[in-house]
Amino acid sequence: MPTMGRIVGAILYGALAWYTTILIVPLFPEGTNLGWFQEINTVFGFWVGWTIAGSRAGTGYTAAFSYGLTATIALVVSANFFNSILVMLDQSLRRRYDGPGEAVTAVFEMFVQHGAMIMTAQIITTLLIGGIGAAMIVEFFGKRFT
């Protein structure tokens, strides 16, 4: 059911994912075809804001700190995992893998590689401050407009 907390959460975490993706794009090698990378991450931001942060709105600012961190980590892990799967599917259509086991292993290898690539101070700071700040705003709207 739509609540103000869910709506604000979806908007804020979608915006956080969109902005963070802008910071991540230059970290990829030049000439990398990213396709729908920014849009996919933004959809994951909307989803996390709606389901994790928005559903917990109205529980207090201490809880907002916690669900802000939870939502941010869920955003990074789910978007990274999904994007790794998409890269694996693209590479498997080009017959890069000898079998399904190698393809599944490649998903986890890419997950770790991409995760290590985005672990810069600027991106971590943006995610932490943005995620916790967004949760505080979600909490504000969740308490006032129930």
**Ramachandran region, residue 95 (left: φ > 0; alpha: ψ -120 to 50; beta: rest):** left
Token pair, residue 94, equals 């080009």
Count of domains in the chain?
1
Residue 103's domain comprises: 4-144
Q: What pTM value is reported for the model?
A: 0.92
pLDDT tens string for the chain (146 positions)? 889 999 999 999 999 999 999 999 999 888 888 889 999 999 999 999 999 999 999 899 999 999 999 999 999 999 999 999 999 998 898 888 888 899 999 999 999 999 999 999 999 999 999 999 999 999 999 988 86
Q: Tell me the C-alpha distance between 89 and 54, whole Å.
A: 32
